[in-house]
C-alpha cells in the first residue's frame, strides 16, 4: 500500500533562517507531488506541484522553492524565512493525470518567530 | 479559474442531529468536486468526490453530497452526526479540462463541532 511521510511535525524557526521540509512517498511510482500551505481561516493554498523528477510548477510567487531530486521525494525550502511563512504545510500526492484523489501527509506546523 | 465558497466558517450541532455543510463553486468549465475532512493536527482525508454520473455521491462515515449544476453547489450532508465527526471540512474543485489537471482549489473550510 502507498504511504506518505512528511517531517518534521512541528518546527520553530527564527526570521531569516533557512528551511527544509521533506516529503517522501512509498509504494507507488511517478506520483504527482504537491505542497500546500494552510493558514488560519484561509483554507489551503497550492504552492508547488511536480509531475516528474526536476519538474516543478510554482503557483504563487513567494519566498519558498521546491525541488524533486528523486521520483518520490519532494522538498520545500527557503533561504531566509519571513514571519508570513508561518503556517501548516501539507505535502500530498496523486496518481494519474491529475487531482482525482489527493493523499495528504500529516503536515508540518511551522512557526517563524 | 475556479473558486470555492464555503458559506459557514463554523457549524455547531448536537449529537445525532442532521447537518448540512454548504459549498458553492464557480468555474467557466465543467468541474470535479471533492469534500475532504481534516481532524486536529492531521492531514486531509478524502470523504467523497463527484467526477461524473449520478449527482448524489456517497462517501465514508455516512456522509453524502449532491452536485447541483444549476445552483453550482455541492453541499455535504449527514442525517445523524457523532461526536467523532468533529473536524474541519473542506470543499474543493478542479477543472474537468479533459487533459491533465493538477490544480485543486480549496474553500476556506467549515469547522463542524458536534456537542453531546
Mean pLDDT over the full length of chain A: 91
| Secondary structure of residue A43 in the 3-state scheme | coil
pLDDT at B96: 74
Give how far Cα A60 sits from Cα of A35, A45, A46, B105, Å.
12, 9, 8, 13
Report the C-alpha gap between A35 and A56 in whole angstroms: 11
As a whole-number percent, the residues of chain A with pLDDT over 90 amount to 73
Report the C-alpha gap between A43 and B98 in whole angstroms: 26
**B chain contacts of residue A66, beta-carbon cutoff 8 Å:** none
Once rounded to an integer, what is the mean pLDDT over residues A84-97?
A: 89
For an interface test with A, which of B53, B96, B102 has the most A Cβ atoms less than 10 Å from its Cβ? Answer: B102
**A chain contacts of residue B41, beta-carbon cutoff 8 Å:** 106-107, 109
Q: Within 10 Å of residue B97's Cβ, how many Cβ atoms?
A: 13
Assess A73–B contact: CB distance below 8 Å, yes or no.
no
Nearest to B109 among A43, A98, A106 (CB): A43
The burial of B69, by beta-carbon neighbours within 10 Å (0-12 exposed, 13-18 middle, 19 or more buried), is given as exposed
Do the Cβ atoms of B111 and B10 come closer than 8 Å? yes
| Local confidence band at B94 (pLDDT 50, 70, 90 cut-offs) | confident
Once rounded to an integer, what is the mean pLDDT over residues A69-77?
A: 96
Nearest to A44 among B32, B45, B90 (CB): B90
Residue contact A99–B101, C-beta within 8 A: yes
Residue contact A42–B108, C-beta within 8 A: yes
As a whole-number percent, the residues of chain A with pLDDT over 70 amount to 96
| Secondary structure of residue A19 in the 3-state scheme | strand
Q: C-alpha cell of A34?
A: 504537491
Do the Cβ atoms of A13 and A63 come closer than 8 Å? no
Q: Quick check: A99 pLDDT over 70?
A: no
How close is the nearest chain A Cα to the Cα of B19, in Å?
Answer: 21
pLDDT digits (tens, 9 = 90+) for B7-61: 999 999 999 999 999 999 998 888 899 999 999 878 899 999 998 888 999 999 9
Residue contact A98–B109, C-beta within 8 A: no
Q: Quick check: B98 pLDDT over 80?
A: no
As a whole-number percent, the residues of chain B with pLDDT over 90 amount to 73
pLDDT at B72: 95
Q: Which of residues 66-95 of B touch A (CB under 8 A)?
A: 90, 92, 94
pLDDT digits (tens, 9 = 90+) for A47-71: 999 999 999 999 876 789 999 999 9
pLDDT at B100: 61
Assess A46–B contact: CB distance below 8 Å, yes or no.
yes
Do the Cβ atoms of A48 and A57 come closer than 8 Å? yes
Count of helix runs (H) and strand runs (E) in chain A: 0, 11
Residue contact A90–B44, C-beta within 8 A: yes
Task: Tell me the β-bridge partners of B45.
Answer: B37
Amino acid at each position: 500500500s502507498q504511504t506518505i511521510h512528511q517531517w518534521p511535525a512541528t518546527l520553530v524557526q527564527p526570521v531569516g533562517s533557512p528551511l527544509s521540509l521533506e516529503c517522501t512517498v512509498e509504494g507507488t511510482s511517478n506520483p504527482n507531488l504537491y505542497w500546500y500551505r494552510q493558514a488560519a481561516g484561509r483554507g489551503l493554498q497550492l504552492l508547488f506541484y511536480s509531475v516528474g523528477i526536476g519538474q516543478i510548477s510554482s503557483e504563487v510567487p513567494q519566498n519558498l522553492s521546491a525541488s524533486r531530486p528523486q521520483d518520490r521525494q519532494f522538498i520545500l525550502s527557503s533561504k531566509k524565512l519571513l514571519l508570513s511563512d508561518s503556517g501548516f504545510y501539507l505535502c500530498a500526492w496523486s496518481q494519474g493525470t491529475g487531482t482525482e484523489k489527493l493523499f495528504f501527509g500529516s503536515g508540518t506546523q511551522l512557526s517563524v518567530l | 479559474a475556479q473558486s470555492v465558497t464555503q458559506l459557514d466558517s463554523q457549524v455547531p450541532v448536537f449529537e445525532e442531529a442532521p447537518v448540512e455543510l454548504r459549498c458553492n463553486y464557480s468555474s467557466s468549465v465543467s468541474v470535479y468536486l471533492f469534500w475532504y475532512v481534516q481532524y486536529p493536527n492531521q492531514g486531509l482525508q478524502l470523504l467523497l468526490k463527484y467526477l461524473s454520473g449520478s449527482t448524489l455521491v456517497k462517501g465514508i462515515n455516512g456522509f453524502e453530497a449532491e452536485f447541483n449544476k444549476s445552483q453550482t453547489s455541492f453541499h455535504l450532508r449527514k442525517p445523524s452526526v457523532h461526536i467523532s465527526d468533529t473536524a474541519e471540512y473542506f470543499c474543493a474543485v478542479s477543472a474537468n479540462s479533459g487533459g491533465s489537471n493538477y490544480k485543486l482549489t480549496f474553500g476556506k473550510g467549515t469547522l463542524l463541532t458536534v456537542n453531546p
